Chain A
Amino acid sequence: MKTSYDMLVIGGGPAGAMAAKCAAEKGHSVLLVEKRPAIGVPVRCAEGVGKELLHQFLKPDDSWVASEIDQAQIVAPDGFVMNLKPEHAGSEVGYVLDRKVFDRELVWQAANAGADIMVKTRAVCPLTSDGRITGATIEHNGLKTDISAGIVVAADGVESKFARWCGVNTTVPLREMETCAQYLMTDIDIDPHTTVFYTGNSISPAGYVWIFPKGERTANVGIGIAGDKSRSGSRAKDYLDRFVSMNLPKGKAIELIAGGVSICRPLEKTVFDGMIIAGDAARVSDPLTGGGIYNALYTGSLAAEVGTTALSNGDVSAKALSVYDTTWRSSPMGIALERNYQIKEIFVKLTDDDLNAIIHSVSDMNMSEFNTLNLIRNIVTANPRLAMKLGKAGLKQLFDSIS
């Protein structure tokens, strides 16, 4: 067994697979380890991704695109439905994927590019030398092996442990962990090309219910609520069961999916001597939407680009890798994360009356002028009470974040 690689990637999700693929394509030796026995399962995802964002990395393929989405609907707590057509819905227009197939495809591509893959293999602890991360001890089939690596990419997901073992504080505050449950439901009456988002504090406190179609009569029906709203008897699954019994009583659940999505700010630092942190492990899932597929693909590929350059230059210090950190923070993704964090901080405090007022007023907007700034202006003008609630500081924060 080979025990020395240029790059060791921990985690076989989209971030890890993309990092492994891109580094292997540049001729570097790569080992990707995945703790689960199979890539892509169990799914822990609503599986939605923006079309244009995905196209930056992959040509869509029928084998893993479950459904094409051409509009979104937002349902206010009072039942009012707002339609977001393609020209306004932005990145909400996209695909619902079949992650079981999609994740396998990505890892297959990494393997095809030359990366070694080990499943049911977990990183147990980092190897270090003079404070630099130089690899990891991995465990497979009861056997521990030390793998030395020029650089380690920690892409071990929302349940990330590796960075923590390296001394990074990765703890997510309870209120910033969305606790999620989802059914893959079939035999339901839906528009197969429309995603629907239900808001309201009695439906999904500090979160939303989603219906993401995966076929003619099949969809991911899920919910995320803020961790601090979760209690015995009113957990994500309890809210979901209530929603389903009221709205989709005849539907059949053919899969139960659980999971967590961090809605905190990204880690303060995502590079260390010998290590880059990518994807959910870096806390780059979107704080407002919870979306993380594109962000994982992007940070994974960037980790490979910066990591391989550092390897070629013979310098994998945090300083040499810092271009990874600065690049993603100033990228459209990084800017969107900060903006959406600010919006999320306001969203989680809204009452049902606020939500009703906002969704009604946005729906009355002249859609030819639809952009985020106009959206916020419109909301504030139409809802002076909300503007007062946010206060000067809140409004300034919001305007600063979008301008």
Chain B
Amino acid sequence: MITVRRDICAYCGCCISVCPQGALELIDAYLFVDTEECTDCGICVRVCPLGALEVTP
């Protein structure tokens, strides 16, 4: 699953539109991950400018 490092995330939204599943959403000041839709592909982890996302088992 995708884990958001909230201490690093600047809730910029860069990851959201690269998600092929549409599993991410920026809700005000936090990033929401729809775990039902997420396939752990890791594209969002790659694109994050700060390194706030991790795929964790």
Contacts and interface: CB of A to CB of B under 8 A. Distances in A.
B18 A177 contact: yes
A230 B16 CA distance: 16
B13 A230 contact: no
Contacts of B20: 171
B47 A44 contact: no
A258 B13 CA distance: 9
Interface stretch (A54-62, A159-167, A192-200, A348-356): A159-167
Contact of B12 (A35, A44, A174, A227): A44
A157 interface: yes
Interface residues of B, number: 24
Contacts of A180: 14, 49
Given A158-B17, A171-B20, A35 B47 contact: no
User: By DSSP majority rule, is chain B's interface helix, strand, loop, or mixed?
Assistant: loop
A260 interface: yes
A234 to B, nearest CB: 10
B30 to A, nearest CB: 11
Given A35-B26, A37-B28, A177-B18, A159 B13 contact: yes
Contacts of B25: 159, 161
Contacts of A173: 18
Contacts, number: 98
A44 B18 contact: no
Interface in B2-57: 10-20, 22, 25-29, 43, 46-51
A260 B27 contact: no
Contacts of B47: 174, 177, 179, 227, 230, 260
A394 interface: no
B27 to A, nearest CB: 7
Interface string A241-276: 000000000000000111110100000000000000
B22 to A, nearest CB: 5
B17 A171 contact: yes
A120 interface: yes
A228 interface: yes
Contacts of A174: 18, 43, 46-47
A170 interface: yes
A316 B13 CA distance: 31
B16 A159 contact: yes
Contacts of A157: 13
B14 A179 contact: yes
A258 B22 contact: no
A260 B11 contact: no
A36 B29 contact: yes
A259 B51 contact: no
B41 to A, nearest CB: 10
A172 B17 contact: yes
Nearest to A259: B12
Given A172-B17, A235-B49, 14 more contacts: A42-B12, A157-B13, A158-B14, A161-B16, A171-B17, A179-B47, A179-B49, A180-B49, A235-B51, A236-B50, A237-B49, A259-B14, A260-B47, A260-B49
11 contacts: A157-B13, A158-B13, A158-B16, A159-B26, A171-B17, A174-B18, A174-B46, A228-B46, A231-B46, A237-B49, A257-B12
Interface of A: 35-37, 42, 44, 120, 122, 157-161, 164, 170-174, 177, 179-181, 227-228, 230-232, 235-237, 256-260, 262
List the 6 closest pairs (A to B, CB-CB), nearest first: A260-B14, A159-B13, A236-B49, A258-B12, A159-B16, A258-B10
